[in-house]
Amino acid sequence: MNREKALEVVEQLKQELGEHNYRYHVLDDPKISDTDFDVLVRQLQDLERQYPDLITPDSPTQRVGGQPRAGFAQVAHRVPLLSLDNALNLEDLRDFVRRAMKLVPEAQLEFVVELKVDGLAVSLQYENGFLVRGATRGNGEVGEDITHNLRTVKSIPLRLREPMTLEVRGEVYMPRSSFLALNAERAVEGQTLFANPRNAAAGSLRQLDPKVAATRNLAMVTYGLGYSPALSPVSHYDALMAMQKLGLRINPHLTILHELEDVVNYCESWREKRYELPFDIDGLVIKINNLALQEQLGTTAKSPRWAIAYKFPAEQAQTLVVGISVQVGRIGTLTPIAELAPVTLAGTVVKRASLHNEDILREKDVRVGDHVLIQKAGEIIPEVVEVLKAKRSGQEQPFAMPEVCPACGSKVTRLPGEVALRCFNPACPAQVMEGIAHFASRGAMDIEGFGPAVAEQLLAAGLIKDVADIYTLPAKREALMALERKADKSVDNLISAIEQSKTQPLWRLLYGLGIRFVGARTAKLLARRFGHLDALRKASVEELEAVPEVGPKIAESVTEFFSLPSSQAIVARLRDAGLNFVEEQAPGKSAPLEGKVFVITGTLPTYSRDEAARMIEEAGGKVTGSVSKKTDYVVAGEKAGSKLEKATQLEIPVLDEAGLEALLQTP
C-alpha cells in the first residue's frame, strides 16, 4: 500500500475505532466484539509500523507511550477544583436546601442526584479536541501532571468527537473485580496489598511509568465542566449531556428530582443497592441543576453552596473477639485471624477478620475477649479497625504468635525485610493442603467440586498426598464412594471434573503449581512466551528475565522450582497422567498472526531464529525463507542483508525484535 492510500486507511481506522470506543465506553452499546476491535487495532498498528510518520497522539495505539517520567510536573488549575460539604443524615440535607432557599428565595429548585464514585478527582484538558493534559486535583488550585497515566485509561477519549477546547472533571476509579484480582496477584508475588479500590487507583496514577497504569484497568466518569468557553449549557444536566455527546463517559446512574423527600428516598435506595454496582461509591452527590442559580449561590472557600455529598458511613460493626487463630498459607505464611462473634456487615454475616501479620496484631493490641470495631476494606474483606479499649474488663488475654508452625510443629522464622512469620517445611500438612486446594481452585485448574474441604478430606483419608495424586483419583472410585457423605453422583462429577481439567491451558497449570511469585498474570506471560512447559522448564534466568514484567526475583524462583527433584517428579507424574503442557490461546484470539507470512533475517538480540520462528508459528503465522510479495513482515536483526533490502523495495513492514514481541502480545 502506498503512503497516500495508507493515510486514508489510517484515518478511516482511527475514525472507526473512535466510534466503537464511544459505543463501548460511553453508550455501553458495543456493535462489534472485542476480538473484531482488536483486529482493527492490529490493522492500524501494521500501517503505523510501515509509515511511522502517520502516527498521531490520538491514535488508539498510542495510549501507552514513551519513557517513564522522572517526576511529576505541577499544573495550576484555571478554575479551581472544589471539594464538597458532607451531609451525613436527613437533617444535614434539609439544612443544605434551607440555606439555598434563603439565598434564592424565589427559585424553584431542581436537583440532579449522581453517584459519588469512590476514586480520585482528575481534570482533563482538551485543545481542539485533543487530550493535552490530565492532572490530579491536588490542593484544588495546583495538581500534578499525570497525563501519561490518564492516557492509558480506555474510557478517557484521546480525542473528542468535536474539535473543542475545554476542561472537564471526573473521577478515576478501579472496578472492584479488578481490585480483587490485582491484590490476589500481589499477594502471590509477595507485594504489599492495597487497602481498597481507591488506594489501588491512586497508587496506579502515581506511577512514573505509564506501563503500570496500563495494566490496572482503571475507568473514569466525568461529572463536571471546568473552563469551557465554547459551551454554554443552562443546566448541569445539559452540561453532562454535552460532555457525553463529545465522547466523555458520564455517571452511569443519575436522576433529576424536585422534592427533598424524593432526594432522600433516592439516596437511601442506594444504601444497599450500592453493593450490586461493579465499583465502590461512598455516597451520592446532590447538585442544584440550574447553572444561573449555581452562579448566584456561589461558593464558600472550599466548597460550592449548590452541591452537597450525601455520604454513607463506611460499613462498620462492633463485635467480640472470641479467639485468635493462626492460619498457615500455601507458602507457609502465618496469618493471625480474629475469630468473632457473628455479626452482620454490609449484608453478610462475618465470623472472622484478618489481623494481617504479627506487627499489625501488636500495633492494634487485639486480645481475646476484646470488643472490636470491624469493617469491610474495599467493602469486601473484613478487617479489625480498632479495639474498643474502654470496654475492657481486664480479663482479656493477649495473644503471642507461636514459635512453631501450628500445623506441623516446625520452627517458624521471619525473613529479613518481611513482615510475615513463615514455616519452611515443604511437607507441612497445612501448606500441602493449601497447595492442593490452590491447584484445584477456580483461578487455577478449576476442578469443580474440589474445594479446600474436599482437599482436606482426601488428604486425611490418605487418598492423595500431592497435586499429582489428584489424577489417580478417577481410578479410586470405590475409595471415594466410601468417603463420608459422598453420593454416587457427586463422585462421578468430581471424577469428570478432574478428567476435564487435564486439558486446561498451560498458564492454569503453571499458576496451579504454586511457584513463588508466579501469579495468574505472570503465568500467562510465561505460558504465552514459552508455549510449552518443557521449554519453560529448561529456560535460563536470562531467558526468563527477557519476558516483559518478569524480574530477577520471579526468574530465580521459576528456575529454582524446576531444579528441585520434588518438582521434577510432580511434573513427570502430571505428564504421565496426560495433562496438557501446551498453551492454548483463548478462542477467537487463538492465532493473532493467523495467515501472516514472515521472513526472519539477521541476528536478533535475545531470541535465536528458531525461537522466533516457533513463537510466530505458535501464534498462527508461517515462516518462510525468502522475501516475496506474499511476505507480510520481515523480522530483521543485526547484519540483515539482501532480505532486508528486498523488503524495503517491496514496501513490506520490517520489525525488530521488540516490534515482533509487540505484535505477538497484541491480545
Pick the piece of the chain touching ligand IVH (CB under 6 A) from 15-23, 110-118, 143-151, 385-393: 110-118
Task: Tell me whether residue 138 or residue 429 sits nearer to ligand IVH (CB atom).
Answer: 138
Pairing label, strands 74-76, 142-144:
antiparallel
Which residue's CB is nearer to ligand IVH, number 20 or number 137?
137
Q: What mask, x for binding ligand IVH by CB under 6 A, covers residues 223 to 242?
A: xx------------------
Nearest approach, Cβ of residue 311 and ligand IVH (Å): 8
Can you tell me which of 13, 17, 44, 84 binds ligand IVH, judged by CB under 6 A? Answer: 84
Question: What is the Cα–Cα distance from 612 to 620, expressed in whole angstroms?
Answer: 13
Where does 367-487 have alpha helices with state H? Answer: 429-440, 452-460, 477-482
Q: How far is the CB of 255 from ligand IVH (least distance, A)?
A: 12
Q: Judged by CB under 6 A, which of 50, 83, 165, 327 binds ligand IVH? A: 83
Contact between 296 and ligand IVH per CB under 6 A:
no
Binding positions for ligand IVH, 142-171, rule CB under 6 A: 171
- State which residue, 251 or 522, has the beta carbon closest to ligand IVH: 251
Question: Judged by CB, which is closer to ligand IVH: 184, or 254?
Answer: 254
Tell me how far, at minimum, the Cβ of 228 lies from ligand IVH, in Å.
15
**Least CB distance from residue 274 to ligand IVH, whole Å?**
13
Name the residue nearer to ligand IVH (CB basis): 84 or 387. Answer: 84
Q: Which of 264, 285, 468, 636 forms a contact with ligand IVH (CB under 6 A)? A: 285
Residues 335-394 that bind ligand IVH (CB under 6 A): none
Q: Which stretch binds ligand IVH (CB under 6 A): 79-87, 256-264, 467-475, 621-629?
A: 79-87
Shortest reach from residue 275's CB to ligand IVH, in Å? 18
- Count CB neighbours of 52 within 10 A: 8
Scanning the structure block, which residue is given the C-alpha cell 454490609? Answer: 346
Residue 508 touches ligand IVH, criterion: CB under 6 A: no
Catalytic residues: 116
Indicate the residue among 63 and 116 with the shorter CB distance to ligand IVH.
Answer: 116
Q: Where are the alpha helices (DSSP H) in 274-357?
A: 291-297
Least CB distance to ligand IVH at residue 237 (A) = 13
Check if the beta carbon of residue 88 is closer than 8 Å to that of residue 311: yes
The gap from C-alpha 14 to its chain's centroid, in whole angstroms, comes to 26
**Other C-beta atoms within 10 Å of 124: how many?**
25
Distances (CA, A) of 176 to 275, 345, 511: 10, 18, 22
Q: Interaction with ligand IVH in 112-141: which residues (CB under 6 A)?
A: 114, 116-117, 121, 137
What are the grid coordinates assigned to 282, written together?
461512598
- Burial of residue 23 (CB within 10 Å: 0-12, 13-18, 19+) is middle
**Of the candidate residues 17, 26, 47, 82, the single one contacting ligand IVH (CB under 6 A):** 82
Which class for 327: exposed (0-12), middle (13-18), buried (19 or more C-beta within 10 A)?
middle
> Closest CB to ligand IVH among 297 and 423?
297
What are the C-alpha distances in Å from 667 to residues 38, 351, 443, 591? 7, 41, 20, 10
The continuous run of DSSP H or E covering 414 comes out as: strand 412-414
Nearer to ligand IVH, 288 or 660 (CB): 288
Residues 300-329 that bind ligand IVH (CB under 6 A): 304, 307, 309
Per-residue burial over 339-367, b = 16 or more CB atoms within 10 Å of its CB, e = otherwise? ebeebebbeeebeebbbbbbeebeebebb
Which ranges in 142-209 belong to alpha helices (H)?
147-150, 176-188, 197-205
111-117 vs 254-257, strand pairing mode: antiparallel
- Does position 251 bind ligand IVH by CB under 6 A? yes
Instruction: Give 141: exposed, middle or buried? Use CB within 10 Å, 0-12, 13-18, 19+.
Output: exposed
State in angstroms the smallest separation of the CB of 196 from ligand IVH: 15
Work out whether 581 is an interface residue with ligand IVH (CB under 6 A).
no
Q: How far is the CB of 192 from ligand IVH (least distance, A)?
A: 25
* Three-class SS state of 190: coil
Question: Which residue, 137 or 367, is less far from ligand IVH as judged by CB?
Answer: 137
In 3-state terms the chain splits into helix, strand, coil percentages (rounded to 5) of 40, 20, 40
Which one of the spans 111-119, 126-134, 144-152, 328-336 is the region binding ligand IVH (CB under 6 A)? 111-119
Nearest to 657 by CA among 592, 609, 596, 621: 609
CB of 126 to ligand IVH, least distance (A): 19
Closest approach of Cβ 240 to ligand IVH, in Å?
10
Residue 114 or 543 with smaller CB distance to ligand IVH: 114
Q: Are strands 633-636 and 654-655 parallel, antiparallel or unpaired?
A: parallel
Amino acid identity at 457: Q
C-alpha cell of residue 614: 516457533
Question: How many residues bind ligand IVH, per CB under 6 A?
Answer: 16
Q: How far is CA 266 from CA 223, 260, 390, in A?
A: 19, 10, 38
Q: Which residue has cell 491447584?
A: 439
Binding region for ligand IVH (CB under 6 A): 82-84, 114, 116-117, 121, 137, 171, 223-224, 251, 285, 304, 307, 309
